[in-house]
Structure 1
Amino acid sequence: MAGRHWTRRLEDTPLPQEVPLRGPLLLFDVDGTLLDAGGVIADTMVTAFEAAGEDPPEAAFVQSLIGLSLPEMVDVLASRLHPDRREKILSGYRLRYFDLIEQDDPSPVFPGADAALGRLRAMGFVLGLTTGKARRSTQHMLSTMNWHQYFHTVQCADDNPSKPNPTMIARALAETGRSAENTILIGDSRYDMRMAEAAGIRAVGVSWGYNPPVELVREGAVAIARDFDDLVAIVARVAAQLAPA
């Protein structure tokens, strides 16, 4: 797995309004694809369980569920508990997570992510986000990284059903005027792959996230990227096979 580091957008990277919107739509997952947030998510979830007086889940199990929206993740992790107890865990997680990310250093970005986004924008692709993160934490990431102007559509958990429901993709298509035939999803989880399949779009998996690449292939990924340079090459190759935007 690639290590994490902290970075900001390169000042000479073309911004969306500077690049013709001629290319296909690329929809990026966030946690496990752009951000290495698995450790923070798992630690915060364990703390939320402990604060509620419940036995915490294993960190590896928490990370394997990243991709689901938070309420759905808690439902899986606390399936044996009464709904009131799940709500307590959910509230405790939100409080701790928002405090942590908004008071801590900038978001941990996988090496090569920022440069790859710039290269893809310069190639004319339209970029979007489809994430199970809350809008508050997503907007914090975009502001911290100066990424707001990269993305023409941002679909978050607040406004959409959890993955693998394809509503996020449908709304992203509507907002950008693209069709399923000229859209590619990039993600690291089984839920990303299932969402892409449900929406009828191609999906590319990444090897540095929280689900094994073999599982992503089994769930429908057309290719697996080894790193961000490889991802740019794969996306260009897959996009050449798509219908015109």
Structure 2
Amino acid sequence: MITGHRSEGGARSRRISVRRLTAPPHRVAERQVRREMPLVLFDVDGTLLDAGRLIAHTMIQSFLAAGEAPPRPRDIRSVIGLSLPQMVDVLASDAPRTLREKIVAGYRLRYFDAVENEDPPVFDGAEPAILRLKAAGVQMGLTTGKSQRSLDFVLERMRWRDWFATIQTADDNPSKPDPTMIVRALAETGREASDTILVGDTRYDMRMARAAGVPAIGVGWGYNAPDELRAEGASAIATDFGHLVSILSAWRQTHDDAADMAVRDV
């Protein structure tokens, strides 16, 4: 279980003392690099962006335009985290495939028109938290059910692109909870599952992390309740972004202590 004190204090890192280590110099250097670069994978909608209202509105309009009775907003929010075609498959499970495809196509047109004419709805505290992690030497990535086009707009408008070492979207991966997004993120960054943690707001994030063998932190401001996230395997629930940074700092300290012991045992 991952624990963390709720605090606004920044993440801390410790230097490895070479005099305390018995490993050969090249192994010491390798361990220092790995200690300075743990990988934190973020979900986007519901974790970094407050996009639920726009997603629900766009989905309702897409159903109406296709001549279908729209789902309730709460039902739409319950499937945020899946990729768009899988969301529609759940919400319109009795509709023929051609109608579901029409809803998906209509959603994409309406959503792109909406998001590209306004600033991304970034949660308060998200950017400062990302900057604190970046300053502490944490490597970061994104694993999202958003399309590449939609995510590109966010990254360009917020000037976030260079902050993330790996970006996994619905265009190139199966929908969550399939673990492929995490598997590819690890391959692209050279990280191990033991060096990695996922931050997300839905049961699909928690299931994806469990399938990939990485721990997960749930956030309490997204689209699934904290109790549901715990039941799906969340190691901790962050109540705000300051708390999230504290939890990640505690995880990193535990990770670094374990790394120290592994190196001393070589």
TM over 0.5: yes
Alpha-carbon displacement from aligned partner over 1:171-218 (angstroms, at most 9, x marks no partner): 000111100011000000000000000000010000000000000000
Q: How does 1:153-192 map to 2 (within 5 A)?
A: 153-192=166-205
Aligned partners of 1:50, 1:108: CA distance in 2, in Å?
25
For 1:95, the aligned partner's letter is L
Question: Counterpart amino acid of 1:190?
Answer: R
For residues 20-64 of structure 1, the C-alpha deviation after alignment (integer angstroms, 9 at most, x for no partner) is 882210000000000000000000000000000000000111011
* 1:17 paired residue number: none
**Mapping of residues 1-245 of structure 1, within 5 Å:** 22-103=36-117, 105-242=118-255, 244=259
What secondary structure is seen at the aligned counterpart in 1 of 2:142?
strand
CA distance, structure 2, for counterparts of residue 183 and residue 244 of structure 1: 13
Deviation at residue 244 of structure 1 after TM alignment: 4.3
CA distance in 1, matches of 2:109, 2:205: 26
Per-residue deviation, 1:163: 0.3
Partner of 1:14: none
- Contact conserved, 1:181 with 1:201, CA < 8 A, in 2? yes
TM-score (norm 1): 0.90
Spell out, residue by residue over 1:58-91, the C-alpha distance to the aligned partner (whole angstroms, 9 max, x if none). 0111011110000000000000000000001000
For 2:23, the equivalent position in structure 1 comes to none
Separation in structure 1 between the aligned mates of residue 82 and residue 105 of structure 2, nearest angstrom: 17
Unaligned runs of 5+ in 1: 1-19
Q: How many residues align?
A: 225
| Amino acid across the alignment from 2:250 | R
Question: What amino acid is aligned across from residue 88 of structure 1 in structure 2?
Answer: K
CA distance in 2, matches of 1:32, 1:64: 11
Identity of aligned residues (%): 60
Q: Which one-letter code corresponds to 1:221 in the other structure? A: A
CA distance in 2, matches of 1:163, 1:109: 22
Deviation >4 Å, runs of 4+: none
Unaligned runs of 5+ in 2: 1-32, 261-266
Query: Quick one: distance in 2 between partners of 1:244 and 1:111?
Result: 34
Q: TM-score, normalised by structure 2?
A: 0.83
2:62 maps to amino acid: A
Q: Quickly say closer, same or farther: Cα 1:244–1:138, change in 2 above 3 A.
A: farther
CA distance in 1, matches of 2:259, 2:165: 19
Match of 2:171, SS state, is helix
CA RMSD of aligned residues (A): 1.3
